[in-house]
Amino acid sequence: MNVIMRTLSKIFSVSFLVFFGWEFSAAQVNNNNNNNTNNNNQSNILGPKNLPRDAAYDHQDASQRRVVPPAYMRASDIMWEERVWRVIDTRQKINEQLYYPVQKNLNRISLYDLLKQALVAGELTAYSFNAVDWDDYSEPLTLTEVKAKLSSVDTIPDENGNMKAVVNDITSDKIRGYMLKEDWHFEKQRSVIDPRILWICPQVVTINKNTQQEDPTAGNTNLFWLYFPDLRPLLAKTPVFNQENDAQWLSLDDIFWKRQFASYIVQQSNVFNRSIEAYMKGLDALAEGNKIHDKIQAIENDMWQY
C-alpha cells in the first residue's frame, strides 16, 4: 500500500510541475504578445519619429479591420433578381464622408485618393467604361492607360501666344459622384432582399477647355469600372469620420455595407438596354428612378402576402 501511495504521490507531483510549467509558459507567451501589440499600437500612434501620443488612450489600429463576408447564396434559392445602376452624388450632405478630405491628412483620406493610390501602386485593376453598354467590362486597362485616365491634357496659349500642352491631374475636388452597378435578390432561405454591389465607377466633372472652369451643362465623365469585392479589403482598413461620435469611427466599407449613403437610380435592366436619361430628362428622370426604387420595395413586401 505504501508503495502505491508513494507512486501516486510522485505521479501527482510530476503532473503538477508539468501543468504549472505549461501555464507559466502560456502566460509568458500571452504577455509577450500583449507587449508586442501595445508596442505596435504605440508605434502607429506615435509614428516613426516617436512623437507624443495625440490621444488619451490607444486607439484601435484600423489596419487590423477585416471584411464582413457576404452570406452565401445558391441559384436555386433566388426567387427574384433585378440589376440596377445608381449614382452617389458626393455633393449631398450624407455623402460628404466619401468626398472629404479634399487633401489627404494624417487621419483620413478620400475615397478617390484611396482608389488612385491603389491603382498607381498596381493593387487594383481598372476596366474600361463602355458608354453604350454599361454591362461591358471586358477590357482591363494597363497602368499607362489608368494614369492617362487620371489626368487630362489641355492645350493653352502661353504669354507669347504660342500653344503649349498642360497636364492636369484629376484631384479629389473634381469628383462629383460614383456610379454603382448592383444586383438585388430575394433569397428564400433567409427571406430577405439582399443587394450586392458589383462594380463602382468614379465620375469627374467636365472642364471647359476655353474657360478652364467646370461645365455644368456637359454632365459628368465616367472614368473606369472597379470590381467592388476586390476593393472591400482596402475600404475596410480606411477610417471615415463619424459626425456623431469621435470614438466610433466607421470605415469606408461600413458606409457601403450598411448602405449609409444617398443615391438615385439611373438605369435598370431592360429589353432596350438604355438608361433613364435616354427617354426622360430632369425631374422626370429622377421621378422614374424613384419609381423603380418603390417597385423593388413593393416586391419585397409582396413576398410576405398570404
Fill in the DSSP letter of residue 270.
-
Q: Are 215 and 207 in contact (CB under 8 A)?
A: yes
CA-CA distance, 162 to 13, in Å (whole number)?
Answer: 95
Q: What is the pLDDT along the chain (306 residues), one digit of tens a residue?
A: 555 556 656 555 545 444 445 444 544 545 545 444 444 443 343 345 577 877 787 777 777 788 989 999 999 999 999 999 999 999 999 999 999 999 888 788 999 999 999 999 999 999 999 999 999 988 999 999 999 999 877 666 777 777 777 777 889 999 999 999 999 999 988 888 999 999 999 999 887 766 667 777 778 899 999 999 999 999 999 999 888 888 888 899 999 999 999 999 999 999 999 999 999 998 999 999 999 999 998 887 787 665
> What pLDDT is attached to residue 19?
47
CA-CA distance, 193 to 296, in Å (whole number)?
Answer: 9
Cell of 52: 507624443
The H or E element that residue 85 is part of is: strand 78-89
- Please name the residues in contact with 118: beta carbons below 8 A apart, sequence gap of 6 or more: 124, 234
The type of residue at 89 is D
CA gyration radius, the chain:
28
Cell of 232: 472591400
Q: Are 142 and 229 in contact (CB under 8 A)?
A: no
> What pLDDT is attached to residue 49?
58
> What pLDDT is attached to residue 214?
74
Partners of residue 202 on adjacent β-strands:
178
CA-CA distance, 197 to 255, in Å (whole number)?
Answer: 12
**Angle value at C-alpha 103, between 146 and 89, nearest 5 degrees:** 70
229: phi then psi, degrees, rounded to nearest 5: -55, -35
Q: Are 167 and 250 in contact (CB under 8 A)?
A: no
**Residue written as grid cell 497602368:** 143
Domain ranges of the chain: 77-302
Neighbours of 61 (CB within 10 A): 14
CA-CA distance, 126 to 60, in Å (whole number)?
Answer: 31
The H or E element that residue 227 is part of is: strand 224-227
